[in-house]
Amino acid sequence: MMIRHRLEYDAAPGAVYEMLSDPAFRDKVCEAMNTVSHDVEIDRAEAGMSVRIDMVQRTQGVPGFAKKIVGDQTRIIQSEDWVAAHGAPLAARLVVEIPGKPAAIRGTITLTGDESGTVESFAGEAKVNIPLVGGKVEGLIEKLFIAGMDAEQRVGSGWLVGQR
């Protein structure tokens, strides 16, 4: 299932990139997502950064057919490999995996400037390799992923104006 989502920030791409590279920001996003637990690792390099977020989330509200697959809680590992090319949009390869489950999201995040600030765009695919119910689970994963991105935007909008 293809996923496309767009977030907008009232700040320059460099400021949004700096926010995304701050472990305290990532912790705050995980807290806003009401994770059971989370661990954030960010490794910055001259040409970009790598981000790894290992989190456990509750599955309350998940339909019964999916709850049988994921249980009461599920572990999610989100990996981002960012490249900061001078003069070009900032971009990352994103992979979200559920260890031990045949499901993943893979795609690209880009940060581009526009007249009002920064647009963070995601384009990718949710894939669940389970016969018969895979498509339904992909739709559920898409909704949860977009809800997580929207939580990031809410936290990020406040963060960029000093609400930390």
Domains of the chain: 2-159 (3.30.530.20)
d(CA 122, CA 124): 7
| pLDDT confidence tier of residue 46, bands split at 50, 70 and 90 | confident
Helix axes 134-159, 13-20, angle to 10 degrees: 110
Residues of the chain with pLDDT > 70: what percent?
Answer: 93
* Average per-residue pLDDT for the chain: 90
Cα-atom radius of gyration of the chain, to the nearest Å? 16
pLDDT surpassing 60 at residue 39 = yes
pLDDT, position 68: 67
pLDDT surpassing 60 at residue 128 = yes
pLDDT surpassing 60 at residue 114 = yes
Instruction: Return the bridge partners of 43, or none.
Output: 50
d(CA 123, CA 157): 21
Q: Give the mean pLDDT of 83-112.
A: 88
Q: Give the mean pLDDT of 34-56.
A: 94
Query: CA 140, 141, 142 angle in degrees (round to 5)?
Result: 90
